[in-house]
């Protein structure tokens, strides 16, 4: 038995680098240089005669997702806030949020002055379920946020049935699911609003950035104003030298506008997205063949209604006891050392996350009273705990190389497992 790399042995993979993310080339540089030379670095600046890049990107992103409307914003976090504000979420309201996700959806609810109500997730996918969403509803529920986590899609049929019956709008957080499709439609297009992040690590990256998509023209008008200090695009074309935003004042906004430089990067990146999806699936198929042969491991399941997933973090489930009593964090360290690649367990569920500390900010502390806190995080999160203890994740960039890379992942899992089996 060869020694584990964490114990000083030779790693499974030591002679080849992993692909780099993000992917860029001379065309990316040209787009950014053109944006710089235009002198127009923000939507809020006189037009150079062409449509703003953030507006062009919004149109392209709407088209990609088969929806009529999209508003570009500066972060996925802002997209969540704008979506909730467009739906008129405010003080006294509750919003259902899955316990297993990045902290941003919860923060966005608090920023509206509303109470996030954390609900449990499916232990095999980390996504909220129809039952967990139903259990989180109350007469105060103003919206439900669902997150399509990692490389899967939440059960949109079941969850939409629950939210529609309750008459509550669904916000789809697609920050980890660009391009995933559910029964013929793009995720984000099934709920009232879909939100995206284009942060550096996401499947579509622009450094920082986000977007809100919707089919509803009223939500579109509101979202535009919420992100541009109560201004929206004019109805007419804008000649050079004139502002491409007009004061509308139907709803008070703030500034969450996407920079023109980020939009330039995104305009370069978007046409590459589908080929990257196909590439990742090719390598993932190799990996899944290897996992099936190895036994005891399987990919995080994808519901059959999702005819395309989007791999943001690839997740591998392992059976209880595979690594003896060793916790997932230590297993992940050992596998990472074999691969020279960051492999990690899911984040801690938000109910016990160090990032969720509303009492440290006065504005949030007012919401996070003893009663509020009990309503927000006082449930059973055993599904989330199970998920956190039985999955290993790695970043999608690792799937953009040679399909033979998959064999290294399988070999590393086998080596670490066999080591622990021998103990």
Ligand X SMILES: *Cc1c(COP(=O)(O)O)cnc(C)c1O
- For the bound state, the minimum distance from the C-beta of residue 311 to ligand X, rounded and expressed in Å, comes to 13
Cis preceding linkage at 328, omega within 30: no
47 is a contact residue toward ligand X (CB under 6 A): no
User: In 3-state terms, what secondary structure has residue 272?
Assistant: helix
- For the bound state, the minimum distance from the C-beta of residue 374 to ligand X, rounded and expressed in Å, comes to 25
β-strand partners of 70 = 213
- Report the candidate in 406, 351, 404 with the shortest Cα–Cα distance to residue 379: 351
| Residue whose CB is less far from ligand X, 72 or 199 | 199
Q: Which of 47, 132, 152, 199 binds ligand X (CB under 6 A)?
A: 199
| Residue whose CB is less far from ligand X, 398 or 414 | 398
77 is a contact residue toward ligand X (CB under 6 A): yes
| Residue whose CB is less far from ligand X, 4 or 81 | 81
173 is a contact residue toward ligand X (CB under 6 A): yes
DSSP string across 175-217:
TT-TT-EETTEETTSSSSEEEEE--TTSSS--SS-EEEEES-H
- Whether the CA torsion 19, 25, 28, 33 is positive or negative: it is positive
- Report the candidate in 273, 128, 276, 112 with the shortest Cα–Cα distance to residue 191: 128
Phi, psi at residue 196, to the nearest 5°? -130, 155
- For the bound state, the minimum distance from the C-beta of residue 51 to ligand X, rounded and expressed in Å, comes to 23
259 is a contact residue toward ligand X (CB under 6 A): no
Binding to ligand X by CB under 6 A, coded x per residue (else -) over 131-160, reads: ----------------x-------------
In contact, 297 and 317? CB cutoff 8 Å: yes
Those residues whose C-beta lies under 8 Å from the C-beta of residue 11, and which sit 6 or more positions away, are: 5, 337, 338, 339, 340
Q: Choose the binding region for ligand X from 56-64, 121-129, 172-180, 413-421 (rule: CB under 6 A).
A: 172-180
176 is a contact residue toward ligand X (CB under 6 A): yes
Q: Choose the binding region for ligand X from 55-63, 97-105, 122-130, 350-358 (rule: CB under 6 A).
A: 97-105
Q: Choose the binding region for ligand X from 26-34, 99-107, 242-250, 297-305 (rule: CB under 6 A).
A: 99-107
What are the strands of the beta sheet with 210-214, ordered from one edge? 69-73, 210-214, 193-197, 170-173, 141-147, 94-98, 115-119
| Residue whose CB is less far from ligand X, 47 or 276 | 276
Binding to ligand X by CB under 6 A, coded x per residue (else -) over 206-245, reads: ----x-----------------------------------
Nearest-angstrom CA–CA distance, 66 and 84: 22
- Report the candidate in 111, 206, 87, 189 with the shortest Cα–Cα distance to residue 148: 189
101 is a contact residue toward ligand X (CB under 6 A): yes
Nearest-angstrom CA–CA distance, 209 and 201: 11
Query: Which H or E element spans position 318?
Result: strand 313-318
| Residue whose CB is less far from ligand X, 141 or 199 | 199
Which residue is closest to ligand X by CB? 76
Number of residues that bind ligand X (CB under 6 A): 14
Q: Which residues bind ligand X (CB under 6 A)?
A: 75-77, 101-102, 104-105, 147, 173, 175-176, 197, 199, 210
């Amino acid at each position: 038995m060869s020694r584990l790399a964490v114990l000083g042995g030779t790693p499974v993979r030591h002679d080849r680098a992993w692909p780099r993310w993000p992917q860029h080339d001379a065309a990316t540089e040209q787009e950014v240089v053109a944006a710089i030379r235009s002198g127009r670095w923000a939507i809020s600046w006189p037009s150079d005669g062409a449509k703003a890049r953030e507006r062009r990107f919004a149109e392209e992103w709407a088209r990609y997702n088969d929806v009529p409307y999209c508003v570009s914003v500066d972060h996925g976090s802002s997209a969540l806030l704008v979506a909730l504000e467009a739906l008129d979420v405010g003080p006294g309201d509750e919003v259902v949020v899955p316990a297993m996700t990045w902290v941003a959806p919860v923060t966005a609810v608090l920023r509206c002055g509303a109470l996030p109500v954390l609900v449990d997730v499916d232990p095999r996918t980390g996504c909220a379920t129809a039952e967990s969403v139903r259990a989180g509803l109350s007469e105060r529920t103003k919206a439900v946020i669902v997150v399509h986590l990692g490389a899967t899609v939440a059960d949109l049929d079941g969850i939409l049935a629950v939210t529609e019956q309750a008459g509550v709008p669904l916000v789809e957080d697609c920050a980890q699911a660009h391009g995933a499709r559910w029964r013929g439609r793009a995720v984000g297009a099934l709920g009232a609003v879909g939100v995206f992040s284009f942060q550096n690590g996401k499947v579509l990256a622009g450094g920082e950035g986000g977007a809100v998509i919707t089919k509803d023209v009223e939500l579109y008008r509101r979202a535009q104003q919420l992100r541009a200090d109560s201004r929206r695009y004019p109805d007419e074309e804008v000649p050079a030298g004139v502002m491409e935003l007009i004061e509308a004042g139907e709803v008070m906004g703030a500034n969450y506008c996407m920079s023109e430089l980020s939009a330039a990067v995104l305009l370069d990146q978007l046409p590459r997205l589908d080929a990257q999806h196909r590439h990742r699936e090719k390598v993932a198929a190799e990996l899944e063949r290897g996992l099936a042969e190895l036994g005891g491991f399987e990919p995080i399941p994808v519901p059959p209604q999702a005819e395309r997933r989007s791999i943001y973090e690839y997740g591998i489930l392992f059976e209880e006891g595979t690594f003896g009593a060793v916790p997932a964090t230590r297993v992940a360290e050992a596998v990472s050392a074999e691969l020279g690649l960051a492999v990690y367990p899911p984040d801690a569920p938000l109910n016990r996350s160090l990032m969720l500390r509303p009492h440290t900010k006065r504005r949030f502390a007012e919401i996070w009273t003893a009663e509020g806190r009990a309503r927000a995080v006082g449930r059973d999160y055993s599904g989330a705990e199970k998920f956190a203890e039985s999955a290993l994740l790695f970043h999608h960039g690792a799937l953009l190389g040679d399909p033979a890379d998959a064999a290294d992942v399988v070999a590393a899992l086998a080596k670490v497992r066999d080591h622990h089996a021998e103990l």
